[in-house]
Structure 1
Amino acid sequence: MPPTPGVDRRTLLRRAAAVGLLATPAAGLLGGCVGGGDAGAPQQAQGEKTADNPLGVKEDAELEVVIFNGGLGTKYATDVHIPSYKQKFPKANVKFSQTEEVATVLQPRFTSNTPPDMINNAGSKLMDQGALVQAGQVQDLTELFEAESLDLPGKKVKDTLIPGTIEQGTFNGKPYVLNYAFTVFGLWYDSTLFEKNGWVPPKTWSEFTALCDKIRAAGVTPYSYAGANAAYYQYLVLLTSAAKIGGPDVLKNIDNLEDGAWQVDAVKQAAAAWAEIGAKYGNKAHLGLKHTEVQLQQNQGKVAFYPSGSWLENEQAKDTPPGFTYAVMPVPSVTGSDKLPQTAIYAAAGEMYFVASKGKNPRGGMEYLRHMLSKAGAKGFTELTKVLTVVRGATDGLTISPGLTSSEAMLKAAGTDYFSYRWDTWYKKLDDECRAATNELFFNGGTAEKFCERMQKAANAVKKDPSIQKFTR
């Protein structure tokens, strides 16, 4: 996500490439942003802190907001969050813009210390969040999380959030990013098509491959993703399999750049399993396609399983034909001795939003996030995007879509067995390398050994590079 982790969002999803880091991470960013120091930094708006204005927003200060236009769209900003902010600060002009290429548009502005105030950092051309933090370009959000909730008097913002939310956006002990969309990842399919054909969602790997054989025999591509910009969807499910096989510490060790973390048996087994799926059940023509193109093929009944986050249903809303019913299932267990159950899933706060520390109105930027984190703001977001947020109880009473219903059911079944990783947003070089390595593994006859060796070499290079700040969890 979400994506928003092309619209390669996202993120969470993933959703990391910053100021100058489209091809060469930290060096370009740090040279441009840090080298200039505070020269030319704007005078920042400051209002009086009161019980009704806990962040000290200047009531007539302009606020600039940039939102990624991807799978989640932008109506949640224009129709929910901006009106909420304007209602509280009617004298303030909110300058809004949207983009599908966040880094391309915003890199020059961060380099010149003239950034917008609040940014949704997502998409295939998102900014390297770790490098932005390292360069001092990101506002510490401690004040936001300690402030009173907008619509729950007596409660701090931090107390209204799903556990783990703040930690997901924390870099070396300080919260710099709001990961707002609570995204669940799995294998998406059309439940109507499956019911029509008597196809039952598999739980084990043998059931998965047996079903893929049946699907292929019916003239449908059993499983695929878009190689042009959505390889991270695939490496996400690969690493989900690795975590199920070996436990969540497999991912923690990768995050922390532990020696040999990419070469443990769990990662090798997962890579081998998914390499086989690519060789037998994928479509090599999808290597050059974008995510929306493969997703459209799924809507047309040409692809059965598609890996994605829970933004998918909303992203495809305009192209989803009547009778197509989105549903999602966990990644099947690879072995009979996986450390985590088949119901375990990758689920995490994703879709990064942050405030520029050198913007004209960082206090307004934090206030904008406070409106996003209100119950009303979160409910409006979910109604428009069909994606959950990190605000607890925000969907109470909502009539939700089939895909979101399926997502919630999968999350409920997982219980406490859900996990995530952070390395992709911390280290853009690793994200780039893993996308390429995953495409090789899935589409071009790569092997598990080559994949693991390639990724370990890339991780070692990041670990040894003194110009890249390291993060741990």
Structure 2
Amino acid sequence: MPNTPHITRRELLRGAALVPVAGALAACATPAAKPSASSSAAPVATSAANPFGVADNKPLEVWIFDGGFGQDYAKNIHQPLFKTKHPGVEIKHNATKEITKVLQPRFAGGNPPDVIDNSGANAMDFGALAQDGQLQDLAALLDAPSWDDPAVKVRDTIEPAVIEYGTYGGTFGVLGYVNYIFGIWYSQKVFRDNGWTVPKTWDEFLKLCETIKKSGKMAPFTYAGKFPQYLYDPLLTMAAKIGGADVLVNIDNLEDGAWKTEAMKTSATAWAEIGAKYLMEGTAGLDHVQTQTAQNKYKVAMLPSGSWLENEQKSTTPADFEYGMFPVPDFTGSDKLPYGTLRSQPGETFIVPAKAANPQGGMEYLRAMLSKKAAGDFSEMVRTVSVVKGAGEGRTLSPGTQSATKALTAAGTNTVYFRFDRWYLQLKDEAIAATGELMSGGLKPEAYLERIQKKADEIKNDSSIKKYKR
């Protein structure tokens, strides 16, 4: 995705030149005692106002993923707020689109920076970082007094999923800052002008695609052909709707045959039909920006993405475009999960390296980010939803953010997610490549699932790779 976030947001295949480096990190992941914050820096006295003992004479090095959300929010919101309580701390701000290429050598050298937004196309492998003891345990952050109210702990100001999603091997070490909401995105203006109705069932979706195709006005559907993870998101979400949330839990847990269930086969077959009949011409050779810009130019009606989309496309979106998002439609009335179920999970992920020179300052930086003001200003600036409870209250939200937030509220507890793409990079890369072939007709659904299952089995049987469980 990005220059895009997250993804996580939106993470893209790493370049071939980076694979050996990532492999080296995973290969050196042998059991070892986790470095403690005190091994990096002796903290000053702690207090309710300074819970981690931040030293004002110690600089703080921050690296931001310069993707769909840019870097201005860090420079203009988070860092000035941090300085209100720690004016003596020199903040060394940096930004890059190439997180792995730039920062992984510093982990190998034992001198990583203090705060990293480890997101985007080339995010470092979280599973390998955790396995190698490179992530600071952020339990102290969760139990610290919140920036806004010392009587309230940080953990009580954020969505519970943040803690679950950021825990690796029992240790909370990854802070997701954005509440990513995934679905099918469209122009509300275009749908109104053409009398097109948001589909709630798969049959309605197919009929809408046929109507749009026959209209000759635009193509019905596209996705980032160069980065097929954009498409495996709705495919996996639909499988979970059909077969229940355990479909994704079993995939994450590397259960035998998890990729080859009937729910997965049904979903893969359905999306392969979209690939065969309704894709915008040339989709396979286009990236996320090209397909998203084609939508802004009214060349295509719908595409799958996450709630970072609106901000990412702000420079090319017509003023009256009016982004909207709808959840993956019901496949049949027998789906195990109800209409409105969608994928939502914390994204734009921040870490404090265990061997950082100033981990106390790093955790304090995250504490400032999680204030209601910082999160609210962030949400308004980059048109997205923060994980801080109530941060959007009283804010002016954009059409796409309003639409996605409304969908998430309607979903209630019916949200799903998967973690295999964070835990096992090789499995993610195989799923990406296979999904591209499925959508272009190079693989039939059964062969598609067989290919990914084979990779999952290889990882399961490789004793050198640490396994994670949901």
TM bracket, shorter-chain basis: over 0.9
Q: Which deviates further from its counterpart, 61-70 or 437-446?
A: 437-446
Quick one: structure 1 residues 16 and 38, their matched pair in 2 at CA, closer, same or farther if it must change by over 3 Å? farther
Q: How far off its partner does 1:382 sit?
A: 0.2
Task: Provide the C-alpha distance between the structure 2 equivalents of 1:100 and 1:420, rounded to a whole number of angstroms.
Answer: 25
Quick one: structure 1 residues 31 and 427, their matched pair in 2 at CA, closer, same or farther if it must change by over 3 Å? closer
Q: 2:235 maps to what in 1?
A: 238
Task: Provide the C-alpha distance between the structure 1 equivalents of 2:459 and 2:21, rounded to a whole number of angstroms.
Answer: 11
- Summarize the alignment of residues 23-42 of structure 1 with structure 2, pairs less than 5 Å apart: 23-24=19-20, 27-31=23-27
DSSP-derived class of the 2:293 partner: helix
Tell whether 2:143 aligns with 1:143.
no
Q: 1:370 maps to what in 2?
A: 367
- Whether contact under 8 Å (1:226, 1:294) holds in the other structure is yes
Task: Provide the C-alpha distance between the structure 1 equivalents of 2:434 and 2:225, rounded to a whole number of angstroms.
Answer: 11
Q: How far off its partner does 1:216 sit?
A: 1.1
Q: How far off its partner does 1:163 sit?
A: 2.1
Among 42, 45, 48, the residue aligned to 2:45: 48
Runs of 4+ deviating beyond 6 Å: 16-21, 33-39
Quick one: structure 1 residues 258 and 36, their matched pair in 2 at CA, closer, same or farther if it must change by over 3 Å? closer
Quick one: structure 1 residues 261 and 106, their matched pair in 2 at CA, closer, same or farther if it must change by over 3 Å? same
Task: Provide the C-alpha distance between the structure 1 equivalents of 2:197 and 2:126, rounded to a whole number of angstroms.
Answer: 40
Among 119, 122, 146, the residue aligned to 1:122: 119
Q: How far off its partner does 1:82 sit?
A: 0.7
Q: 1:215 maps to what in 2?
A: 212
Q: 2:72 maps to what in 1?
A: 75
Among 434, 439, 446, the residue aligned to 1:437: 434
Tell whether 2:7 aligns with 1:11.
yes
Among 245, 258, 262, the residue aligned to 1:261: 258
Q: How far off its partner does 1:380 sit?
A: 1.2
Count how many residue pairs are aligned between Structure 1 and Structure 2: 467
- Whether contact under 8 Å (1:182, 1:388) holds in the other structure is yes
Among 324, 347, 350, the residue aligned to 2:344: 347
DSSP-derived class of the 1:259 partner: coil
Q: Which deviates further from its counterpart, 350-359 or 6-15?
A: 6-15
- Whether contact under 8 Å (2:63, 2:96) holds in the other structure is yes
| Amino acid in the other structure paired with 1:238 | L
Q: How far off its partner does 1:12 sit?
A: 4.1
Q: How far off its partner does 1:135 sit?
A: 0.9
Q: How far off its partner does 1:371 sit?
A: 0.7
Quick one: structure 1 residues 8 and 400, their matched pair in 2 at CA, closer, same or farther if it must change by over 3 Å? closer
Percent of aligned positions that are identical: 47
Q: 2:246 maps to what in 1?
A: 249
Task: Provide the C-alpha distance between the structure 2 equivalents of 1:400 and 1:37, rounded to a whole number of angstroms.
Answer: 45
- 1:326-370 deviation digits (Å, cap 9, x = unpaired): 000011112231111121111111221100111111111111110
- Which blocks of at least 5 consecutive residues in structure 1 are unaligned? none
- TM-score using structure 2 length: 0.95
Task: Provide the C-alpha distance between the structure 1 equivalents of 2:361 and 2:228, rounded to a whole number of angstroms.
Answer: 36
- Which blocks of at least 5 consecutive residues in structure 2 are unaligned? none
Quick one: structure 1 residues 410 and 25, their matched pair in 2 at CA, closer, same or farther if it must change by over 3 Å? farther
Aligned-pair Cα RMSD in Å: 2.2
Task: Provide the C-alpha distance between the structure 2 equivalents of 1:340 and 1:30, rounded to a whole number of angstroms.
Answer: 37
Among 298, 311, 317, the residue aligned to 1:320: 317
Q: How far off its partner does 1:27 sit?
A: 3.8
Task: Provide the C-alpha distance between the structure 2 equivalents of 1:260 and 1:31, rounded to a whole number of angstroms.
Answer: 27
Task: Provide the C-alpha distance between the structure 1 equivalents of 2:132 and 2:15, rounded to a whole number of angstroms.
Answer: 10
- Whether contact under 8 Å (2:202, 2:329) holds in the other structure is yes
DSSP-derived class of the 2:180 partner: strand
Task: Provide the C-alpha distance between the structure 1 equivalents of 2:370 and 2:14, rounded to a whole number of angstroms.
Answer: 25
Q: 1:181 maps to what in 2?
A: 178
| Amino acid in the other structure paired with 2:73 | Y
Q: How far off its partner does 1:17 sit?
A: 8.6
Among 206, 219, 225, the residue aligned to 2:223: 225
Task: Provide the C-alpha distance between the structure 2 equivalents of 1:68 and 1:96, rounded to a whole number of angstroms.
Answer: 11
Tell whether 2:461 aligns with 1:464.
yes
Q: How far off its partner does 1:121 sit?
A: 0.9
Q: Which deviates further from its counterpart, 15-24 or 183-192?
A: 15-24
Task: Provide the C-alpha distance between the structure 2 equivalents of 1:47 and 1:268, rounded to a whole number of angstroms.
Answer: 57
Quick one: structure 1 residues 23 and 128, their matched pair in 2 at CA, closer, same or farther if it must change by over 3 Å? same
Among 295, 298, 301, the residue aligned to 1:298: 295
Q: Which deviates further from its counterpart, 30-39 or 434-443?
A: 30-39
- Whether contact under 8 Å (2:4, 2:312) holds in the other structure is no
- Whether contact under 8 Å (2:40, 2:359) holds in the other structure is no
- Whether contact under 8 Å (1:165, 1:349) holds in the other structure is yes
Task: Provide the C-alpha distance between the structure 1 equivalents of 2:82 and 2:137, rounded to a whole number of angstroms.
Answer: 21
Q: 1:196 maps to what in 2?
A: 193
- Whether contact under 8 Å (1:18, 1:107) holds in the other structure is no
Quick one: structure 1 residues 43 and 178, their matched pair in 2 at CA, closer, same or farther if it must change by over 3 Å? closer
Q: How far off its partner does 1:22 sit?
A: 3.8
- Whether contact under 8 Å (1:327, 1:402) holds in the other structure is yes
Q: How far off its partner does 1:276 sit?
A: 0.4
Task: Provide the C-alpha distance between the structure 1 equivalents of 2:194 and 2:283, rounded to a whole number of angstroms.
Answer: 24
- 1:290-332 deviation digits (Å, cap 9, x = unpaired): 1111100000001111100000000001111122110000111
Q: How far off its partner does 1:24 sit?
A: 5.0
- Whether contact under 8 Å (1:21, 1:128) holds in the other structure is no
- 1:411-469 deviation digits (Å, cap 9, x = unpaired): 11112111111111111101111110110011234211011101100100111111211
Tell whether 2:447 aligns with 1:450.
yes
- Whether contact under 8 Å (2:179, 2:347) holds in the other structure is yes
Q: Which deviates further from its counterpart, 444-453 or 184-193?
A: 444-453
Task: Provide the C-alpha distance between the structure 2 equivalents of 1:47 and 1:222, rounded to a whole number of angstroms.
Answer: 60
